[in-house]
Structure 1
Amino acid sequence: MNLIKLLIVSTALFVVSGCGYNSGVKSEAAASYLYFTGTAEGVDVSIDNVHAFTVTKTGIANQYRILPGKHLIVITRDSQVIVKRELLLGDGHEKEIYVP
């Protein structure tokens, strides 16, 4: 009788402990971030000669997501190039760009 109880309890423990295991690797998409300081509000930023966007807020709290890798950053104000810089960004890196 004790042997039957021991087998039932052991089987129940094996079944319950096996149900909670979740295998697999979870990874996030690769991303880097740019943020602008100085007099950057209202400037147009073009990354890799793609359609420009306008910076509305500056500082580290206002970051723009970008893929890691090598990028050409061109910043213009009133159709005049202010900053032209080539950057190499790694996964998870943040880069400050000062706009004079």
Structure 2
Amino acid sequence: MDEMLFCFTHDREIDWMLPGVPPTGRYVEVPLVAVVTMRGDKLYNEHIYWDQASVLVQIGLLDPAGLPVSGAEQSRKLLDKTLPSNELMANWPTSEGKPIA
């Protein structure tokens, strides 16, 4: 398993991330998580996960107003652990000690 920051300028169609979306020219930063399984010395499978909503916000195809979504802010948090967490959850400061369900 690996967590990484994937950065690119959307200057061409990217089939695996933005299929059918024409280039916007916008810069994108998005954390990716890769889960890789090896069997012996061979690659068995690979699963890559990212926040598609964040990518769509950054290229201008999704308006984040009123939605629990962020843009490049989550990339900055990946690189700087001192930045605040849970900013999308307004009630987070008062949730400590409350039951989960």
Task: State the TM-score bracket (shorter-chain normalisation).
Answer: under 0.3
Relative to the length of structure 2, the TM-score reads 0.20
Between 1 and 2, higher relative CO (CA 8 Å, sep ≥ 6) is seen in 1
TM-score normalised over the length of structure 1: 0.20
* Structure whose alpha-carbon radius of gyration is higher: 1
Greater strand fraction, Structure 1 or Structure 2: 1
